[in-house]
Structure 1
Amino acid sequence: MASVNQVTCEIRSYSREFKSHQHDFGQFLFPLQGSLDLQMKWQEIKLNSDYCFYLPPKCDHNYRSIDRNEFLILDIPTHYLPEDTSSMYLRMDKQWASIRYLLLEEAKNEDSNSSLYKC
C-alpha cells in the first residue's frame, strides 16, 4: 500500500489495462484530457473533464483509461484529512475549475518554493 508524508501535486497518465490498488492517503483527481474508468465496491464511474473525484485513504479501486489521457493528481497525507472521509464525485463548477487551475499552475512552476511537492 502506497503512502506519502507530504502533499504531492503532479500530472499523470494511465494505461489501458485495469490496475488495482489502494493507498494510505486521500487523492483528488482532476481530468485535463481524456477519461478514467474507476471501479470501487460501491461505485463505478467514468471520470471526465466535467467532474473531479476524491478517493479516500484505504479505498480499494480498479482504474484504466482507454483513451489518450492526462490528470492533475493531488495526493493528501492522512494527517491533513479529517478522521473519516468518503469518496466525492463532484461536478466541475467554477470553484473546482479555479482550484484545478491554481494547482495546475503550481505543478508547472518548477522554481516555486511552495509547500506542494512535485515528483
Structure 2
Amino acid sequence: MSPIIRVDVGWVLHVQASVAPLNVPIDDWGALGYMADRHMFERENGVLYYEEPSVRAATFLHTALLLRPFSDFNMVIGWSCAEMYMISSERPLAVKPADVHALTGQVRAQEIGLRDVARTIESWRISA
C-alpha cells in the first residue's frame, strides 16, 4: 500500500519554482489554495474521499487546467505536481510528453473529468 501524502500550497509553489520560469504571477490565490487542498478532501473526519494516489495526483492537473491559478504554465505546473505526487506515493510513472499533451488537451476541452485523468495516470505507472 502506498503512503498517503498530504501537501500544501508551499509544496505546489516549490514545484512551480522548479519547473516554470521565475516569477510566474499567481492570478488566483483561491484557485491555488483549492489546487493544493483538493487531494485532501475528506468525506468523513479522517477518511479521504479520493482514496487512490492516482486520483489524488489527478486533482493537481485537473484543477490547474480548469481554474488556472497561475498566469501561465498551468499545464506544466499541474502535471509536475501530479507526477511528483505519484513519485512521493511510491508510484513512479513512465509517460511520453505527447501523451501528457493529449491528456491536457482533453481536460481543457472538458471532454474528460477527474476520474478519467486518474485512470490515465494510473495506466502510466511503472509496474513493480
TM-score, normalising length: structure 2: 0.30
Q: Identify the structure with bigger relative contact order (alpha carbons < 8 Å, sequence gap 6+).
A: 1
Greater fraction of residues in strand: 1
TM-score, normalising length: structure 1: 0.31
